[in-house]
Amino acid sequence: MTTPQPNIDSNSPESRLQAMGLVLPTPPKPVAAYIPFRVSGNHVFVAGQIPFRDGKLLAAGAVPAKVPVPLAIECARQCALNGLAVVREAIAAAGMDGGLSRVVQFVRLGVFVACGPEFTDHPKVANGASELLVEVFGDRGRHARAAVGAPSLPLGAPVEVEFVVEVG
């Protein structure tokens, strides 16, 4: 299920997503005891997003043993889309109009990749999320980032992405 797209101008991030053939999903519901975002001042802290699409994980297991790198990159991209849906929800909850156009900049991404100790292509997987944000937001989408390996992630997800966004 997807949420209806708001009326958007041709230069908005929503219009860029639409031009790319992408639709923001309904923000995923938390799968444990946390909230999907926290607004503090002008920053939105987005909880870790796993690659849900249409209510199902795109893939499960460690990279590359169970999930090939190209699929892991797609998973990171889906995590970023899910996170953008959460950012849009946070902006609306804060009473701000303008949707994703209110994003001033992406401050930081944390990207976690389920993998064994021999895997060293974390940055390549993380680029799935990073490159999407730059495609949609241009220079505002550039960010500091950590790409980290983990033995496992929630629900067996191969990738998890969290971010901090400045809004105004």
CA distance 69 to 62: 10
- Each residue of 40-88: pLDDT tens digit? 999 999 999 999 999 999 999 999 999 999 999 999 999 999 999 999 9
CA distance 122 to 111: 8
Instruction: Name the residue ranges covered by the structural domains of the chain.
Output: 31-167
Three-state SS sequence of 16-69: HHHHCCCCCECCCCCCCCCCCEEEECCEEEEEEECCEECCEECCCCCECCCCCH
Among residues 54, 104, 110, 123, the alpha carbon closest in space to that of 80 is found at 110
CA distance 54 to 67: 19
* Confidence band of 4 (pLDDT split at 50, 70, 90): very low
Over residues 144-166, the mean pLDDT reads 98
- Each residue of 80-136: pLDDT tens digit? 999 999 999 999 999 999 999 999 999 999 999 999 999 999 999 999 999 999 999
* Confidence band of 9 (pLDDT split at 50, 70, 90): low
* Confidence band of 6 (pLDDT split at 50, 70, 90): very low
- CA angle 36–141–135, rounded 5-degree value: 110
Q: Which CATH superfamily is domain 31-167 in?
A: RutC-like (3.30.1330.40)
The answer to whether the predicted template modeling score (pTM) of the entire model surpasses 0.75 is: yes
pLDDT of 149 reads 98
* Confidence band of 11 (pLDDT split at 50, 70, 90): confident
Helix %, strand %, coil % of the chain (to 5): 35, 30, 35
Does residue 2 carry a pLDDT above 80?
no
Q: Hey, what are 129's tokens?
A: 């999320």
pLDDT of 8 reads 45
Higher pLDDT, 73 or 5: 73
- Each residue of 15-34: pLDDT tens digit? 999 999 999 999 988 889 99
CA distance 53 to 77: 11
Q: Please name the helix (run of DSSP H) or strand (run of DSSP E) that holds residue 130, with its range, or none.
A: helix 122-137
CA distance 79 to 93: 21
Does residue 10 carry a pLDDT above 90?
no
